[in-house]
Structure 1
Amino acid sequence: MKIAVMSDTHLREGKSLPKWVWEQIEGVDLIIHAGDVINAGLLTDLEQVAPLEAVQGNCDGWELAHLPQRKIVTCGEVKIGLTHGAVGSGRTTTERAIRNFEHDQVDLIIFGHSHEPYLEKHGPLLLFNPGSPTDKRRQASYSMGIIDIEGKEIIAQHIFSESR
C-alpha cells in the first residue's frame, strides 16, 4: 500500500497545492493529512485522487470542526496513529504526538504542527512528520511524505522540493 502524507498546507480559498505535490500523489492508495488544512475544499480535491484520512489542526476553523483531533487508521497489518500534535501533554510536538497514543497499540504515528520533517524510530514505534509542502518556515525545503506498507514493514521517506 502506497500512502501520501502531508500536513500544514495552510491553503486559503483559491489556492492549490504545488504541481510537484499533485505529481507525487498520483496513483497512491491513500492520502493522509495531519491537520492545518485551513480550506475544506482541499480535502474534496484530495478525495478525487484517493481515499483520504485527516485530522483537525490548531489553525483549522469551524468548517473543519467535524475532523477528529486524533484517530487510528488501519492499513493492512499496520495501525497508524494520526494527530496534528498541537494538543496534549508534552513540551515538544513529538512528545505530544507520542502521548496522544500512549495507551494504544500503534506501529506508526503521523503528526504535523511543527512544519519540521521528522522520521525516527522510538523502540518499535516509527514517528513521522511530513513537514509542509506549502509553508516551510525555517526549513531549507518544502516537504511531504510517501509511506509504503507491505505486511508489517513500513518504509517512510520524505519528498523535498525547493519550489512551491
Structure 2
Amino acid sequence: MKIIVISDTHLPKKARTLPAPLVEALSGADLIIHAGDWSDWSVYELLSQYAPVEGVAGNTDPSEIGEKLGFSRIVEAEGMRLGLVHGHRGTKGTEQNAIQTFADEQLDAVVYGHSHIPVMHTVDNLLVFNPGSPTDRRFQKRYSFGIMTVSEGKLQAEHVFFDRD
C-alpha cells in the first residue's frame, strides 16, 4: 500500500496548484493523508480525485474543515495504526503536542504538520513523521511531502524533497 503524506498545503494562498512532483506521486497512491492547514475545502476535493483521503483540520483552516474532519484521528492502513493530528493544540512544542495527543493509544506512527519542518525518527518504537510542506517551505531549503508504504506488515516512510517547479 502506498500512502502519500502531506500537510500545510495552504492552497490557494501559498500556491495556485499542487506542485508537479506531488501530483506525479499522487497518481499511484492508495491513500492520501493530510495533516491539516488545507486552507480551503477544494483541496480535499482535488486530492479525492487521486485516492481516498484521510485528514484533520489545522490552525489556519476555516471552521467548515474542522467540523467535517475534526482535529485528530486514527487512520488504519493494512493493519497499521497511524495517529493523525496537526500539532498546534497543546502547551508543548509541535512534535510533543502531536505525540501527547495519542498518549493512551497503541500506534505504529504519529503524523503531524504545523511546523513545515520535515521530521522522521522513532520515539519508543513509534514512528514520528512530519512531511513538511509541498507549497510553503518557510525556512527549509526545499519543499517536501512524504511517502509511506505498508508491505508484509511493515511500515516504511521517506521524504520527497524538491524545488519549485
Runs (4+) of structure 1 exceeding 4 A deviation are none
**Is 15-24 or 95-104 further displaced after alignment?**
15-24
Q: Hey, what's the Cα distance between the residues in 2 that align with 1:109 and 1:62?
A: 24
CA contact (8 A) 2:56 2:66 kept: no
Identity of paired residues, percent? 42
Task: Give the letter aligned to residue 9 of structure 1.
Answer: T
Structure 2: gaps of 5 or more residues: none
1:71 to 73, 80, 88: 73
RMSD: 1.3
Equivalent residue, structure 1, for 2:42: 41
Q: Hey, what's the Cα distance between the residues in 2 that align with 1:47 and 1:35?
A: 15
TM-score computed with the length of structure 2 as normaliser: 0.95
* Partner deviation per Cα, 1:74-128 (whole Å, 9 max, x = no partner): 11221000000000232x1110010000011111000000000000011210000
Deviation at 1:24, TM superposition (A): 1.2
Equivalent positions of 1:102-117 (< 5 A) are: 102-117=103-118
SS in 1 for 2:128: strand
Q: Hey, what's the Cα distance between the residues in 1 that align with 2:79 and 2:21?
A: 30
Structure 2 residue 56 is the aligned partner of structure 1 residue 55: yes
Equivalent residue, structure 2, for 1:137: 138
Equivalent residues, number: 163
TM-score computed with the length of structure 1 as normaliser: 0.95
CA contact (8 A) 1:76 1:151 kept: no
Structure 2 residue 100 is the aligned partner of structure 1 residue 99: yes
CA contact (8 A) 1:77 1:151 kept: no
